[in-house]
Structure 1
Amino acid sequence: MSAAPKPIILWAVPRSRSTAFLRVMLERGDLEVLHEPFSYLQMDGRFEIAGRHVTSTTELLDAMLALNDGGRRVFAKDTSDYKYTSLLEDERLFGGVVNTFMIREPRSAIASHYAMNPKATLDEYGFEYLHAIFEAVRANTGEVPLVIDGDDLVAAPEATVRAYCEHVGLEFMPEALRWDPDKRPNWQRTARWHAEVAASSGLAAKPSRTPERRETPDTNEHLRRIAEYHQPFYDALARHRLVSR
């Protein structure tokens, strides 16, 4: 009997459209989908997975691997606004998991993040730490991980999702690109961060409308400095970005 396919983790900068991608994975119906398990563990000191309460990254990774071996492949999406030091010291993250990455042009992602949390620290915008996770995976596996871009996802959803599925060993299901708008119960605590996805019915850029007033790196010196700081980390990741055909 062949070994079960490895769990998949999508590591993403905040506001990169990663929740929309997770919604596609939910719609498939053949995966155990986990929404930001390591972030919730970091915030709360605990996380519930398959009826089990875990209190450390070691226990959480144990539970993910066990759940994956139970017959349904695990897909987890998480963000790089927290540090996962002990996780990056666990060799199973590199040998037992398929790590993938999601970026978005920093000026747009940072403006969107600031609109949600104007008190965010420099680190919480996440590009530097996402790059650190990427480099840890590359150093420990000897392979360049897959990187997708949130803007590509909405510009060419079918091609981007198809290529991602091919890379991680999933069947591509075009019907998963559409869904009925709904609010997922496990998003309740952070519902305002996911309001657009909850109201959506598929992968698409926001429709044209009167632009909302939003501070950007062009209008806000604080955001300009943040964008300039994180740009090199984005550029380094973008050099490996998937270009779908």
Structure 2
Amino acid sequence: MDKTKRICLWSGPRNISTALMYSFAQRKDTTVVDEPLYAHYLTSTDADEYHPGAEDVIADQHNDGERVVREVILGDYETPVVFFKHMTHHLVDLDWSFMKDTINLILTRDPRDMLPSYAKQVNQPAMRDVGYAKHLELLEYLQSIGQQPMVIDSKQVLMDPKGKLTEICHGLGIPFDEAMLSWEAGARPEDGVWADHWYHNVHRSTGFKPYTPKTEPFPEHLKELLKECQPIYHRLIGKS
């Protein structure tokens, strides 16, 4: 019987998912894995045409998503807990039934905060890039197979890291570890090859930064996408 606790964090981009991965990496009982389905996503769509560093990702990872599921997500590990950081929009052309064998969390963020941050790397993002619709599809799928995944709002983690991490760990059936609240600045060996393009802020951090609302005007070219994302975000976090 497989006793490995496989935690899949399904996130959108720019959602403190890397900080959460760094947090779980501080646990002695946990192995962390960074976005194992990224190359699969790039080779299954045309996203390789505009994602920074796409050629390096495709060369570095298995491109076959089903192989990644078999050998990485459902593979063997020496630690009793494995934490997989995923982007929800990477779930293309895959059989999702492997999630019956994983504990699944959904991480979201207010699109008013997320979209301007993401557009600094991808100037003209579309819904498929930012993951909100896929989040909702994933939530409905997980509920259809009898799971009730925790939906985490990144803002709540930043406002109370210890309290929220304690709640998350309780939901996962693992004890909270104080070590999860801080880490050394700089890169980690588990970082994907895309870290140079995306991880500048987390590499400068030593813990969860306090939440600060954005003050600059919302970019005009993102307003239509914001209209699409906001109602989905509110459904995800339980607002009407």
TM-score between both structures, scaled by the size of structure 1:
0.81
Alignment equivalent of 1:112, drawn from 117, 142, 149? 117
Alignment equivalent of 1:165, drawn from 142, 163, 169? 169
Q: Does 1:156 align with 2:160?
A: yes
Q: Is the 8 A contact 2:14 2:114 kept in 1?
A: yes
Q: Which residue of 1 aligns with 2:53?
A: none
In 2, Cα distance between the equivalents of 1:117 and 1:3? 40
In 1, Cα distance between the equivalents of 2:38 and 2:89? 8
Q: Does 1:144 align with 2:118?
A: no
Q: Which amino acid aligns with 2:6?
A: P
Higher relative contact order (CA 8 A, sep 6+): 2
Q: Does 1:14 align with 2:13?
A: yes
1:215, distance to aligned residue in structure 2 (A): 6.1
Q: Is the 8 A contact 2:12 2:107 kept in 1?
A: yes
Q: Which amino acid aligns with 1:119?
A: Q
CA deviation map 1:170-204 (0-9, x unaligned): 22111221111011243442323111111000012
Q: Which amino acid aligns with 1:112?
A: S
- What secondary structure is seen at the aligned counterpart in 2 of 1:10? strand
Q: Does 1:235 align with 2:239?
A: no
- In structure 1, stretches of 5+ residues that fail to align are 49-53, 241-245
Alignment map for 1:50-61 (pairs within 5 Å): 54-61=62-69
- Aligned pair count? 223
- What secondary structure is seen at the aligned counterpart in 2 of 1:85? coil
In 1, Cα distance between the equivalents of 2:212 and 2:226? 25
- What secondary structure is seen at the aligned counterpart in 2 of 1:171? coil
Alignment equivalent of 1:182, drawn from 165, 182, 186? 186
Alignment map for 1:84-103 (pairs within 5 Å): 84-88=92-96, 91-93=97-99, 95-103=100-108
**Coordinate RMSD, CA, aligned:** 2.4
1:166, distance to aligned residue in structure 2 (A): 0.9
Distance 1:194 1:87, change over 3 A: farther
Q: Which residue of 1 aligns with 2:40?
A: 41
Identity of aligned residues (%): 22
- In structure 2, stretches of 5+ residues that fail to align are 43-56
In 1, Cα distance between the equivalents of 2:212 and 2:98? 42
TM-score between both structures, scaled by the size of structure 2:
0.83
Q: Which residue of 2 aligns with 1:65?
A: 74
Distance 1:8 1:146, change over 3 A: same
Q: Which residue of 1 aligns with 2:222?
A: 223
